[in-house]
Chains A and B, each alone.
Chain A
C-alpha cells in the first residue's frame, strides 16, 4: 500500500487521461445548459462556455409553454410504461420456461430464438407485417414489434437458471404448479433482475426513434424523440440564427434548441445516478456469462 502512494509518472498520465474522458463527456452537457440559461446577447456573441451569462429562464418558459412538448412527453411516458410492462411480462415468462431444463422442446425453442440474432427479415417485411396487423399509427405499433429483446431474454434466463432447484421443489411439495412456482417463488426472488431488465427496456423505449419513424403517422402520437428531431434537426437546415416569435421578441435559435434538448433529456440525467448501478449489474451478468 505504501508503495502505491509513491509519485509516479504512470499514475499522473493515467489520471490525466481519465480526467480528459470525464471532461469530454460532461462538458457538452454543461455547455448546453449554460447556453440555454444565458441571455440572448451573450449567446449571439458566442462568449459562453461553462457558466451561464445573463441568467434567464425565458427559453425554458418558451419550451414548456409549447403544447407539442407536453403531448410528446405524455406519449413517451405512455409508450415507456406500457412497453416496459408488456416486455417484462413476455420476457420473464419466456425466460423462465427456457431456464427449466425439464421443459420439452426447450432446445428447439432456444434455436428458434438464437437464429433471430443472426438473421432477420429486415425493415420492410417487418413493416408489412406490422401494417397487415393494423398496428400502424397505433400505440400498439410502438410497443409490440419490439416487445422482446433476445439479449434481455438470455440475460433473464441466465439469472433464473442460477436459482436453486430446491426452492422450486419445495413449492411443488406445497402443491404449486409451474405457473404458481413462477409467480410465488421465482418472481419474488428475482426483484433485482426484474428491475434491471425493466430499466433496459424503459431506456430503449424512451430513446426509440426508429419505431415512430416507421410506424407512426399522426403528430398526436409522436413521442419526444420525433418531436425533438423535427424541432432541432429538421428545422436547422433552412432557418438562420435568429427566429422572431411574435413581434420584436427575438429568440436565439441555438439556445432554444439547447433548452429543448435539456428538457427532453432531463428525466434520464436526473434518475441516472440512482439507477446506474442496476445497469452495470445487468451488463456484468451478460458479460461474465457471455
Chain B
C-alpha cells in the first residue's frame, strides 16, 4: 500500500512538470530497451514472414515476372480476378470448398460435444482416463499417415474395409475413385482424427459446472438425460458458442494438406478445393499472380465469414471473440 502511495506521489509530481519531449523519449527508450530487445526476434518474425507476404499481395494486381521482380512487373489491375471469376472452374471450386467446409461443420462440430458429455457421465475415473488417452492419439499422427491409412484401408484390392464388405457379400468398391463419396470420407477421417482432442475444451468447461446444480436436479427427480439437457449443456454453452464462431469462420479454410494428400484427378469433381487449386495453378504451373489472386479472394470471403459469425453471436448470445 505504501508503495502505491509513493508511486502515485511520483506520478502526480510528473504530471505537474512541464513535458519535455526529448527527455521523455529517451526515458521511454531506456526503460523499455531490454523488453524491446526480448521482443525483437518475435517482431522480426512477424514482419518478415507474416506481413511481408501481405504486402507481396500487390502481385495480384500485377503481371508478376520472375526476372523483373515484384516492383518492376507491369500493373494489370483486376485482370486476374476477372480471369478467375470468368473461369468455368470458378463455381465448382467455390461449391466444393464451401460444401466440404459445411459438411465438416455440421457433422464434425457436434461430435466432440457428444463425446465430452458421454465422458463426463462415466463414473469410473480409470475408464474415462483410458478412453481420453486413446481418443487424443490420432491428433498427433501426421496428415500424410492419416491420408495413407484412409486410402489403403479403402483400397479395392485387399483394403481392410473392402475385405469386411466382401465378408457380407458386397463387391469391391473403389472408394477413392467415386466423386460422390469423397466428402463423406474426408469428414469421417477428420472426425476420427480430431474428435478426442476437441473434447478437451468442453471437458475443461464441464469441470467449471457447480456440482450443487446436479444435486438440486437430483432433488427435483431429474433423470440422467434431463440433467444433461438442463444442467450440462447450459453449463458448457459459452464454450460451444465460441468454438462454433471459430469453426464458422474456418468453414472456407479447410486444411490444404489432407485434401491435397487424399485427392486424385479422378475425383476432382468434388475433391478439388480452392487451396489445392491455388497450389496447382500457382506453385506447380508457376502462375504466381493468378494463384495469389484466388487466395486473396478467398481470404477476404473468409474474413467476412468470421466477422459475420462474431457479430451474429454477439447479438444473439452476448458471447463473442471480440
Question: Inside 8 A of B306's CB, which chain A residues have their CB?
Answer: 118
Are B122 and A15 in contact (CB-based, < 8 A)? Answer: yes
- Could you tell me if A18 and B118 are in contact, using CB atoms closer than 8 angstroms? yes
The reply to whether A100 and B131 contact each other, CB–CB distance below 8 Å, is no
B85 sits at the interface (CB 8 A)? no
Are A14 and B256 in touch, CB under 8 angstroms?
no
A14:B135 contact, CB within 8 angstroms: no
Report the bound CA distance from A34 to B260 in whole Å.
Answer: 28
Would you list which residues of chain A between 31 and 78 have a CB under 8 Å from chain B?
31-32, 43-44, 46
- Distance in angstroms from B255 CB to nearest chain A CB is 9
Asked if A26 is an interface residue, CB under 8 A from chain B, the answer is yes
Which of these binds chain B: A189-197, A243-251, A271-279?
A271-279
Interface size class of A (residues with CB under 8 A): 35 or more
**Contact with B49, one of A22, A109, A147 (Cβ below 8 angstroms):** A147
**Min C-beta distance of A46 to chain B, whole Å:** 5
Q: Are A25 and B242 in contact (CB under 8 A)?
A: no
- Verify A18–B41 contact, CB threshold 8 A: no
* Bound-complex Cα distance A98 to B41 (A): 13
Q: List 23 A-B contacts (CB under 8 A).
A: A17-B118, A22-B134, A25-B135, A26-B137, A46-B166, A94-B43, A112-B43, A118-B249, A123-B279, A127-B283, A128-B56, A129-B49, A144-B49, A148-B45, A209-B142, A233-B261, A236-B152, A237-B264, A272-B140, A279-B140, A283-B197, A287-B205, A287-B239
Q: For the complex, give the distance between the alpha carbons of A159 and B261 in Å.
A: 36
For B, the interface residue count at a CB cutoff of 8 angstroms equals 90
Whether B123 contacts A125 by the Cβ 8 Å rule is no
| Closest B residue by C-beta to A252 | B158
Q: How far is the CA of A121 from the CA of B76 in the complex (A)?
A: 19
Query: Residues of B contacting A233 with CB < 8 Å?
Result: 144, 147-148, 151, 261
A129 near B205 (CB under 8 angstroms)?
A: no
Footprint of A on B, CB under 8 Å?
A: 28, 31-32, 34-39, 41-43, 45-46, 48-57, 59, 70, 115, 118-119, 121-123, 127, 130-138, 140-145, 147-149, 151-153, 155, 157-158, 160, 163, 166, 192, 195-197, 200-201, 204-205, 224-225, 239, 242, 249, 256-257, 261, 264, 275, 278-279, 282-283, 288, 291-292, 295-296, 299, 303, 306
Which residue of chain A lies nearest to B114 when distances are taken between CB atoms in the complex? A17
- On whether the beta carbons of B39 and A98 are closer than 8 Å, the reply is yes
CA distance A46 to B160 in the complex (A): 8
Q: In the bound complex, do residue A124 and residue B291 qualify as a contact, i.e. CB atoms below 8 Å apart?
A: yes
Q: Which A residues are CB-close (under 8 A) to B35?
A: 97, 100, 103, 178
> Given the known A-B contacts A122-B296, A228-B144, are A10 and B41 also in contact in the complex, defined by CB atoms under 8 Å?
no
Question: Across the interface, do B123 and A25 meet the contact criterion of CB distance under 8 Å?
Answer: no
